Structure 1
Protein backbone atom coordinates (compact mmCIF):
# COMPACT_ATOMS: atom_id res chain seq x y z
CA UNK A 1 0.00 0.00 0.00
CA UNK A 2 1.32 3.41 -0.99
CA UNK A 3 0.51 6.73 0.70
CA UNK A 4 1.96 10.21 0.30
CA UNK A 5 1.45 13.68 1.74
CA UNK A 6 2.90 17.18 1.42
CA UNK A 7 6.11 17.75 3.34
CA UNK A 8 6.97 20.74 5.49
CA UNK A 9 9.98 21.11 3.17
CA UNK A 10 8.91 23.35 0.30
CA UNK A 11 7.96 21.38 -2.79
CA UNK A 12 8.75 17.99 -1.27
CA UNK A 13 6.51 14.97 -0.72
CA UNK A 14 6.72 12.39 2.07
CA UNK A 15 5.63 8.85 1.22
CA UNK A 16 5.40 5.32 2.59
CA UNK A 17 5.05 1.96 0.88
CA UNK A 18 4.10 -1.25 2.67
CA UNK A 19 3.60 -4.77 1.26
CA UNK A 20 0.07 -5.31 -0.02
CA UNK A 21 0.29 -8.81 -1.43
CA UNK A 22 0.33 -7.65 -5.04
CA UNK A 23 3.24 -6.72 -7.24
CA UNK A 24 4.31 -3.11 -6.85
CA UNK A 25 4.01 -0.84 -9.86
CA UNK A 26 7.14 0.57 -11.48
CA UNK A 27 8.65 3.82 -10.22
CA UNK A 28 8.49 6.16 -13.19
CA UNK A 29 10.84 8.99 -14.18
CA UNK A 30 9.70 12.28 -12.66
CA UNK A 31 12.79 14.49 -12.49
CA UNK A 32 13.05 14.01 -8.73
CA UNK A 33 15.47 12.46 -6.24
CA UNK A 34 14.43 10.73 -3.00
CA UNK A 35 15.91 10.19 0.44
CA UNK A 36 14.91 6.63 1.38
CA UNK A 37 14.60 4.41 4.45
CA UNK A 38 14.45 0.63 4.14
CA UNK A 39 15.10 -1.98 6.81
CA UNK A 40 16.97 0.47 9.00
CA UNK A 41 19.18 1.81 6.20
CA UNK A 42 19.28 5.25 4.57
CA UNK A 43 19.61 5.41 0.79
CA UNK A 44 19.28 7.94 -2.01
CA UNK A 45 17.37 7.35 -5.24
CA UNK A 46 18.84 9.27 -8.15
CA UNK A 47 16.79 10.63 -11.06
CA UNK A 48 15.43 7.90 -13.33
CA UNK A 49 15.49 7.89 -17.11
CA UNK A 50 13.30 4.78 -17.30
CA UNK A 51 11.01 2.76 -15.06
CA UNK A 52 12.61 1.36 -11.92
CA UNK A 53 11.10 -1.90 -10.70
CA UNK A 54 11.30 -2.40 -6.94
CA UNK A 55 12.41 -5.93 -6.03
CA UNK A 56 9.69 -8.22 -4.70
CA UNK A 57 9.64 -8.85 -0.99
CA UNK A 58 7.77 -8.04 2.19
CA UNK A 59 9.72 -4.88 2.96
CA UNK A 60 8.52 -1.48 4.17
CA UNK A 61 9.86 1.68 2.53
CA UNK A 62 9.62 5.34 3.47
CA UNK A 63 10.86 8.28 1.48
CA UNK A 64 11.04 12.00 1.01
CA UNK A 65 10.82 13.10 -2.63
CA UNK A 66 12.59 16.41 -3.20
CA UNK A 67 11.30 19.01 -5.64
CA UNK A 68 13.13 18.61 -8.98
CA UNK A 69 16.60 20.14 -8.91
CA UNK A 70 16.83 20.76 -5.16
CA UNK A 71 18.41 17.54 -3.83
CA UNK A 72 21.95 17.88 -5.27
CA UNK A 73 22.75 20.99 -3.20
CA UNK A 74 21.58 19.22 -0.03
CA UNK A 75 23.51 16.03 -0.78
CA UNK A 76 26.60 17.70 -2.19
CA UNK A 77 26.65 15.56 -5.34
CA UNK A 78 25.65 16.39 -8.94
CA UNK A 79 22.43 14.67 -9.99
CA UNK A 80 23.94 13.06 -13.08
CA UNK A 81 26.32 11.03 -10.89
CA UNK A 82 23.29 9.26 -9.38
CA UNK A 83 21.22 8.88 -12.54
CA UNK A 84 19.31 5.54 -12.56
CA UNK A 85 20.99 4.50 -9.29
CA UNK A 86 19.99 3.68 -5.71
CA UNK A 87 22.96 4.19 -3.38
CA UNK A 88 23.58 4.05 0.33
CA UNK A 89 23.74 7.48 1.94
CA UNK A 90 27.01 6.31 3.48
CA UNK A 91 28.52 6.43 -0.01
CA UNK A 92 27.74 10.15 -0.23
CA UNK A 93 28.15 11.53 3.29
CA UNK A 94 30.70 11.00 6.10
CA UNK A 95 30.25 7.67 7.89
CA UNK A 96 29.89 9.21 11.35
CA UNK A 97 27.16 11.57 10.12
CA UNK A 98 25.26 8.74 8.44
CA UNK A 99 25.42 6.58 11.57
CA UNK A 100 23.98 9.47 13.59
CA UNK A 101 21.24 10.22 11.06
CA UNK A 102 20.33 6.54 10.74
CA UNK A 103 19.98 6.23 14.49
CA UNK A 104 17.76 9.32 14.59
CA UNK A 105 15.48 8.09 11.80
CA UNK A 106 15.20 4.63 13.36
CA UNK A 107 14.36 6.19 16.73
CA UNK A 108 11.67 8.51 15.29
CA UNK A 109 7.96 7.88 15.76
CA UNK A 110 8.01 6.58 12.18
CA UNK A 111 10.74 6.51 9.51
CA UNK A 112 8.90 8.94 7.20
CA UNK A 113 8.81 11.70 9.82
CA UNK A 114 12.44 10.96 10.67
CA UNK A 115 13.46 11.44 7.04
CA UNK A 116 11.54 14.70 6.89
CA UNK A 117 13.42 16.02 9.92
CA UNK A 118 16.75 15.12 8.30
CA UNK A 119 15.81 16.94 5.10
CA UNK A 120 14.59 20.01 6.99
CA UNK A 121 17.88 20.26 8.89
CA UNK A 122 19.86 19.91 5.68
CA UNK A 123 17.79 22.63 4.04
CA UNK A 124 18.26 24.97 7.03
CA UNK A 125 22.04 24.60 6.72
CA UNK A 126 22.15 25.06 2.93
CA UNK A 127 21.73 28.11 0.72
CA UNK A 128 18.17 28.40 -0.69
CA UNK A 129 17.65 26.70 -4.07
CA UNK A 130 18.45 28.77 -7.13
CA UNK A 131 15.09 30.26 -8.20
CA UNK A 132 16.14 29.75 -11.81
CA UNK A 133 15.73 25.98 -11.33
CA UNK A 134 12.07 26.30 -10.41
CA UNK A 135 11.53 28.69 -13.32
CA UNK A 136 13.17 26.13 -15.62
CA UNK A 137 10.94 23.30 -14.38
CA UNK A 138 7.82 25.47 -14.64
CA UNK A 139 8.66 26.59 -18.17
CA UNK A 140 9.46 23.11 -19.47
CA UNK A 141 6.43 21.66 -17.70
CA UNK A 142 4.25 24.14 -19.59
CA UNK A 143 5.45 22.54 -22.83
CA UNK A 144 7.64 25.41 -24.01
CA UNK A 145 10.53 24.48 -26.35
CA UNK A 146 13.94 24.12 -24.73
CA UNK A 147 15.53 26.80 -26.94
CA UNK A 148 12.82 29.31 -26.04
CA UNK A 149 13.21 28.52 -22.34
CA UNK A 150 16.98 29.03 -22.54
CA UNK A 151 16.43 32.46 -24.11
CA UNK A 152 13.86 33.41 -21.47
CA UNK A 153 16.27 32.47 -18.68
CA UNK A 154 19.23 34.21 -20.32
CA UNK A 155 21.25 31.02 -20.62
CA UNK A 156 23.25 29.70 -23.54
CA UNK A 157 22.60 26.17 -24.78
CA UNK A 158 25.78 24.76 -23.22
CA UNK A 159 25.21 26.48 -19.90
CA UNK A 160 21.63 25.24 -19.74
CA UNK A 161 22.78 21.71 -20.58
CA UNK A 162 25.48 21.78 -17.88
CA UNK A 163 23.18 23.15 -15.19
CA UNK A 164 20.41 20.75 -16.11
CA UNK A 165 22.71 17.71 -15.80
CA UNK A 166 24.01 18.87 -12.41
CA UNK A 167 20.58 19.72 -11.01
CA UNK A 168 18.27 17.14 -12.60
CA UNK A 169 20.54 14.42 -13.96
CA UNK A 170 19.12 14.94 -17.45
CA UNK A 171 19.75 17.07 -20.48
CA UNK A 172 17.01 19.72 -20.83
CA UNK A 173 15.20 17.83 -23.61
CA UNK A 174 15.10 14.67 -21.50
CA UNK A 175 13.77 16.63 -18.53
CA UNK A 176 11.07 18.11 -20.77
CA UNK A 177 10.17 14.62 -22.00
CA UNK A 178 9.93 13.27 -18.44
CA UNK A 179 7.72 16.17 -17.34
CA UNK A 180 5.50 15.66 -20.39
CA UNK A 181 5.06 12.00 -19.45
CA UNK A 182 3.98 13.00 -15.95
CA UNK A 183 1.44 15.48 -17.37
CA UNK A 184 0.01 12.75 -19.57
CA UNK A 185 -0.25 10.27 -16.69
CA UNK A 186 -2.10 12.81 -14.54
CA UNK A 187 -4.68 13.31 -17.28
CA UNK A 188 -5.02 9.62 -18.15
CA UNK A 189 -5.46 8.65 -14.49
CA UNK A 190 -8.24 11.23 -14.27
CA UNK A 191 -10.10 9.41 -17.05
CA UNK A 192 -9.24 11.71 -19.95
CA UNK A 193 -9.34 9.73 -23.25
CA UNK A 194 -5.90 8.83 -24.56
CA UNK A 195 -6.19 10.91 -27.75
CA UNK A 196 -7.18 13.99 -25.75
CA UNK A 197 -4.48 13.23 -23.17
CA UNK A 198 -1.88 13.23 -25.95
CA UNK A 199 -3.02 16.59 -27.31
CA UNK A 200 -3.35 18.32 -23.95
CA UNK A 201 0.00 17.10 -22.62
CA UNK A 202 2.00 18.15 -25.70
CA UNK A 203 2.44 14.98 -27.77
CA UNK A 204 2.12 15.07 -31.55
CA UNK A 205 -0.61 12.43 -31.45
CA UNK A 206 -1.76 9.34 -29.56
CA UNK A 207 0.84 7.16 -31.28
CA UNK A 208 3.59 9.50 -30.02
CA UNK A 209 2.18 9.21 -26.49
CA UNK A 210 2.09 5.42 -26.76
CA UNK A 211 5.74 5.25 -27.89
CA UNK A 212 6.99 7.48 -25.10
CA UNK A 213 5.07 5.58 -22.42
CA UNK A 214 6.50 2.27 -23.66
CA UNK A 215 10.04 3.66 -23.73
CA UNK A 216 9.92 5.42 -20.36
CA UNK A 217 7.56 3.12 -18.42
CA UNK A 218 8.31 -0.18 -20.11
CA UNK A 219 4.69 -1.08 -20.79
CA UNK A 220 1.59 0.20 -22.64
CA UNK A 221 -0.38 3.04 -21.07
CA UNK A 222 -3.48 0.90 -20.46
CA UNK A 223 -1.45 -1.70 -18.56
CA UNK A 224 0.36 0.99 -16.60
CA UNK A 225 -2.92 2.55 -15.50
CA UNK A 226 -4.29 -0.85 -14.48
CA UNK A 227 -1.26 -1.54 -12.29
CA UNK A 228 -1.33 1.86 -10.63
CA UNK A 229 -5.10 2.01 -10.20
Structure 2
Protein backbone atom coordinates (compact mmCIF):
# COMPACT_ATOMS: atom_id res chain seq x y z
CA UNK A 1 0.00 0.00 0.00
CA UNK A 2 1.48 3.34 -1.11
CA UNK A 3 -0.66 5.56 1.15
CA UNK A 4 -2.51 5.56 4.42
CA UNK A 5 -5.34 8.06 4.32
CA UNK A 6 -8.07 9.60 6.43
CA UNK A 7 -11.00 11.66 5.14
CA UNK A 8 -13.68 13.64 6.94
CA UNK A 9 -16.58 15.86 5.97
CA UNK A 10 -16.66 19.58 6.69
CA UNK A 11 -19.04 21.94 8.43
CA UNK A 12 -18.55 24.40 5.56
CA UNK A 13 -20.78 24.34 2.49
CA UNK A 14 -17.72 25.57 0.56
CA UNK A 15 -15.77 22.36 1.22
CA UNK A 16 -16.13 18.93 -0.41
CA UNK A 17 -13.80 17.08 1.97
CA UNK A 18 -10.85 17.43 4.32
CA UNK A 19 -8.23 14.69 4.17
CA UNK A 20 -4.74 13.71 5.20
CA UNK A 21 -2.38 11.17 3.73
CA UNK A 22 1.02 9.70 4.50
CA UNK A 23 3.16 7.86 1.98
CA UNK A 24 4.52 4.48 2.98
CA UNK A 25 7.19 4.25 0.31
CA UNK A 26 8.52 5.66 -2.94
CA UNK A 27 6.41 5.03 -6.02
CA UNK A 28 3.91 6.52 -8.43
CA UNK A 29 0.17 6.45 -8.98
CA UNK A 30 -2.41 7.44 -11.57
CA UNK A 31 -4.01 10.75 -10.67
CA UNK A 32 -7.41 10.90 -12.45
CA UNK A 33 -8.96 14.03 -13.90
CA UNK A 34 -10.51 16.20 -11.19
CA UNK A 35 -13.25 18.83 -11.30
CA UNK A 36 -12.39 20.18 -7.84
CA UNK A 37 -9.43 22.28 -6.70
CA UNK A 38 -7.51 21.87 -3.45
CA UNK A 39 -5.37 23.65 -0.93
CA UNK A 40 -2.58 21.17 -0.25
CA UNK A 41 -0.11 21.23 2.63
CA UNK A 42 2.90 18.91 2.18
CA UNK A 43 5.59 18.11 4.75
CA UNK A 44 8.69 16.29 3.57
CA UNK A 45 12.16 16.12 5.07
CA UNK A 46 11.53 19.06 7.37
CA UNK A 47 10.23 21.32 4.59
CA UNK A 48 6.63 22.56 4.39
CA UNK A 49 4.98 23.52 1.09
CA UNK A 50 1.47 25.00 0.85
CA UNK A 51 0.01 24.76 -2.64
CA UNK A 52 -3.19 25.84 -4.38
CA UNK A 53 -3.79 22.98 -6.81
CA UNK A 54 -6.19 23.37 -9.70
CA UNK A 55 -8.60 21.02 -11.45
CA UNK A 56 -7.27 18.60 -14.07
CA UNK A 57 -8.77 17.69 -17.44
CA UNK A 58 -6.88 14.42 -17.92
CA UNK A 59 -5.33 11.62 -15.92
CA UNK A 60 -1.61 11.90 -15.21
CA UNK A 61 0.98 9.80 -13.41
CA UNK A 62 2.37 11.38 -10.27
CA UNK A 63 5.47 10.37 -8.30
CA UNK A 64 5.43 9.97 -4.52
CA UNK A 65 8.40 10.28 -2.15
CA UNK A 66 8.64 8.09 0.93
CA UNK A 67 7.57 9.36 4.35
CA UNK A 68 5.81 12.48 3.10
CA UNK A 69 2.64 13.86 4.70
CA UNK A 70 -0.19 15.79 3.06
CA UNK A 71 -3.17 17.71 4.37
CA UNK A 72 -5.78 18.54 1.75
CA UNK A 73 -8.86 20.76 1.64
CA UNK A 74 -10.96 19.91 -1.42
CA UNK A 75 -13.44 22.64 -2.33
CA UNK A 76 -16.96 22.32 -3.65
CA UNK A 77 -17.57 23.01 -7.32
CA UNK A 78 -18.38 26.70 -7.71
CA UNK A 79 -16.19 27.86 -4.81
CA UNK A 80 -13.11 29.83 -5.83
CA UNK A 81 -10.49 32.37 -4.78
CA UNK A 82 -10.87 35.64 -6.74
CA UNK A 83 -7.09 36.20 -6.59
CA UNK A 84 -6.33 32.66 -7.82
CA UNK A 85 -9.08 31.70 -10.25
CA UNK A 86 -9.32 27.97 -11.09
CA UNK A 87 -8.71 28.69 -14.79
CA UNK A 88 -5.22 29.96 -13.88
CA UNK A 89 -4.47 26.75 -11.96
CA UNK A 90 -5.77 24.29 -14.54
CA UNK A 91 -3.75 21.17 -15.38
CA UNK A 92 -0.85 21.44 -12.93
CA UNK A 93 -0.38 25.22 -13.11
CA UNK A 94 -0.38 25.09 -9.32
CA UNK A 95 0.71 27.99 -7.12
CA UNK A 96 2.97 27.53 -4.09
CA UNK A 97 2.15 30.14 -1.45
CA UNK A 98 5.20 31.88 0.04
CA UNK A 99 6.28 30.75 3.48
CA UNK A 100 6.27 33.44 6.20
CA UNK A 101 7.45 31.33 9.14
CA UNK A 102 7.54 27.62 9.80
CA UNK A 103 3.85 27.77 10.74
CA UNK A 104 2.48 30.53 8.49
CA UNK A 105 2.31 31.63 4.86
CA UNK A 106 1.65 34.76 2.83
CA UNK A 107 -1.68 35.29 1.06
CA UNK A 108 -2.99 38.53 -0.38
CA UNK A 109 -0.48 40.65 1.50
CA UNK A 110 -1.12 39.11 4.93
CA UNK A 111 0.27 36.21 6.92
CA UNK A 112 -1.98 33.26 7.67
CA UNK A 113 -1.46 30.38 10.07
CA UNK A 114 -1.15 27.04 8.32
CA UNK A 115 -4.27 24.88 8.78
CA UNK A 116 -4.38 21.54 10.54
CA UNK A 117 -6.67 18.56 10.01
CA UNK A 118 -8.58 19.58 13.12
CA UNK A 119 -8.97 23.34 12.49
CA UNK A 120 -9.39 23.34 8.68
CA UNK A 121 -13.04 24.43 8.98
CA UNK A 122 -12.02 27.48 11.01
CA UNK A 123 -9.30 28.25 8.46
CA UNK A 124 -11.84 28.14 5.61
CA UNK A 125 -14.26 30.36 7.55
CA UNK A 126 -11.54 32.97 8.03
CA UNK A 127 -10.78 32.96 4.30
CA UNK A 128 -14.48 33.45 3.58
CA UNK A 129 -14.76 36.29 6.10
CA UNK A 130 -11.78 38.04 4.53
CA UNK A 131 -13.34 37.76 1.05
CA UNK A 132 -10.52 35.54 -0.19
CA UNK A 133 -12.84 32.58 -0.76
CA UNK A 134 -16.22 33.02 -2.44
CA UNK A 135 -18.97 31.07 -4.15
CA UNK A 136 -20.88 32.28 -7.20
CA UNK A 137 -24.50 32.65 -6.00
CA UNK A 138 -25.72 31.54 -9.43
CA UNK A 139 -23.65 28.37 -9.50
CA UNK A 140 -26.26 25.95 -8.17
CA UNK A 141 -28.69 27.28 -10.78
CA UNK A 142 -26.05 26.89 -13.49
CA UNK A 143 -25.88 23.16 -12.73
CA UNK A 144 -29.62 22.69 -13.21
CA UNK A 145 -31.49 21.94 -16.41
CA UNK A 146 -33.59 25.11 -16.08
CA UNK A 147 -30.89 27.73 -16.48
CA UNK A 148 -31.19 31.31 -15.15
CA UNK A 149 -32.25 33.98 -17.62
CA UNK A 150 -28.81 34.86 -18.96
CA UNK A 151 -27.23 34.57 -22.39
CA UNK A 152 -25.37 31.37 -23.22
CA UNK A 153 -22.13 33.34 -23.32
CA UNK A 154 -22.73 34.86 -19.88
CA UNK A 155 -23.60 31.45 -18.42
CA UNK A 156 -20.45 29.91 -19.87
CA UNK A 157 -18.32 32.75 -18.49
CA UNK A 158 -19.79 32.46 -14.98
CA UNK A 159 -19.39 28.69 -14.95
CA UNK A 160 -15.80 28.74 -16.15
CA UNK A 161 -14.83 31.53 -13.75
CA UNK A 162 -16.20 29.50 -10.83
CA UNK A 163 -14.71 26.13 -11.87
CA UNK A 164 -11.94 26.66 -14.42
CA UNK A 165 -13.79 24.19 -16.66
CA UNK A 166 -16.61 24.20 -19.16
CA UNK A 167 -19.92 22.62 -18.16
CA UNK A 168 -19.38 19.96 -20.84
CA UNK A 169 -15.97 18.99 -19.46
CA UNK A 170 -17.38 18.68 -15.93
CA UNK A 171 -20.14 16.40 -17.22
CA UNK A 172 -17.65 14.25 -19.17
CA UNK A 173 -15.37 13.79 -16.15
CA UNK A 174 -18.31 13.00 -13.86
CA UNK A 175 -19.63 10.43 -16.34
CA UNK A 176 -16.20 8.78 -16.60
CA UNK A 177 -16.06 8.59 -12.79
CA UNK A 178 -19.49 6.95 -12.76
CA UNK A 179 -18.36 4.46 -15.40
CA UNK A 180 -15.25 3.55 -13.43
CA UNK A 181 -17.38 3.01 -10.31
CA UNK A 182 -19.75 0.68 -12.16
CA UNK A 183 -16.88 -1.33 -13.61
CA UNK A 184 -15.27 -1.61 -10.16
CA UNK A 185 -18.60 -2.97 -8.91
CA UNK A 186 -18.49 -5.70 -11.55
CA UNK A 187 -20.81 -4.28 -14.23
CA UNK A 188 -20.07 -5.59 -17.75
CA UNK A 189 -18.32 -3.13 -20.05
CA UNK A 190 -21.09 -3.01 -22.69
CA UNK A 191 -23.79 -2.55 -20.04
CA UNK A 192 -21.80 0.30 -18.49
CA UNK A 193 -21.44 2.03 -21.86
CA UNK A 194 -25.16 1.66 -22.59
CA UNK A 195 -26.33 2.77 -19.16
CA UNK A 196 -24.29 5.97 -19.19
CA UNK A 197 -25.06 6.97 -22.76
CA UNK A 198 -21.74 6.27 -24.47
CA UNK A 199 -22.06 5.65 -28.21
CA UNK A 200 -20.21 2.34 -28.01
CA UNK A 201 -17.39 0.55 -26.21
CA UNK A 202 -14.76 2.54 -28.10
CA UNK A 203 -16.30 5.80 -26.90
CA UNK A 204 -16.24 4.54 -23.31
CA UNK A 205 -12.63 3.35 -23.69
CA UNK A 206 -11.42 6.71 -25.00
CA UNK A 207 -13.19 8.57 -22.21
CA UNK A 208 -11.80 6.39 -19.42
CA UNK A 209 -8.31 6.40 -20.87
CA UNK A 210 -8.33 10.21 -20.88
CA UNK A 211 -10.04 10.94 -17.58
CA UNK A 212 -9.23 7.89 -15.43
CA UNK A 213 -5.98 6.74 -17.04
CA UNK A 214 -7.15 3.15 -17.59
CA UNK A 215 -9.23 1.25 -20.12
CA UNK A 216 -12.51 -0.43 -19.10
CA UNK A 217 -10.80 -3.82 -19.34
CA UNK A 218 -7.99 -2.72 -17.01
CA UNK A 219 -10.47 -1.45 -14.43
CA UNK A 220 -12.52 -4.66 -14.64
CA UNK A 221 -9.44 -6.86 -14.33
CA UNK A 222 -8.25 -4.95 -11.28
CA UNK A 223 -11.65 -5.54 -9.66
CA UNK A 224 -11.44 -9.30 -10.24
CA UNK A 225 -7.88 -9.47 -8.89
CA UNK A 226 -8.83 -7.99 -5.47
| TM-score > 0.5, shorter chain as reference | yes
Q: Which runs of 5+ in 1 are unaligned?
A: 106-110, 140-148
2:49 maps to which residue? 41
Q: TM-score, normalised by structure 1?
A: 0.76
Q: Is this contact kept in 1: 2:176–2:212, CA < 8 A?
A: no
Residue 112 (str. 1) matches residue 117 (str. 2): yes
1:88 aligns with 2:93: no
Structure 2 counterparts to residues 185-204 of structure 1, below 5 A: 185-204=180-199
Residue 32 of structure 1 is matched in structure 2 by: 36
Whole-Å Cα distance in 2 between the matches of residues 41 and 29 of structure 1? 23
CA-to-partner distance for each residue in 1:162-201, whole Å, 9 max, x for gaps? 1222111112221221222222223223333222222333
Asked whether 1:136 is paired with 2:150, we answer no
Cα separation, 2, equivalents of 1:36 and 1:62: 6
| Count of residue pairs brought into register by the alignment | 206
**Residues 94 and 224 from structure 1, CA distance in 2 versus in 1: closer, same or farther, beyond 3 angstroms?**
farther
- Between Structure 1 and Structure 2, the one with more strand by share is 2
132 and 96 in structure 1: CA distance in 2 versus 1, 3 angstrom threshold: closer
TM-score (norm 2): 0.77
Partner in structure 2 of residue 121 of structure 1:
126
User: What is the aligned partner in structure 2 of residue 65 from structure 1?
Assistant: 74
Distance 1:193 1:136 in 2: 33
Deviation digits for residues 39-63 of structure 1, max 9, x if unmatched? 1221111011112433221111110
- Please identify the structure whose Cα radius of gyration is greater: 2
Q: Gaps spanning 5+ residues in structure 2: where? A: 100-105
**Could you tell me whether the CA contact under 8 Å between 2:9 and 2:18 is conserved in 1?**
yes
CA distance in 2, matches of 1:89, 1:178: 28
- What value does the CA root-mean-square deviation take over the aligned residues? 2.8
Going from structure 1 to structure 2, the CA distance change for 1:24 and 1:55 (only over 3 Å counts) comes to closer
SS in 1 for 2:7: strand
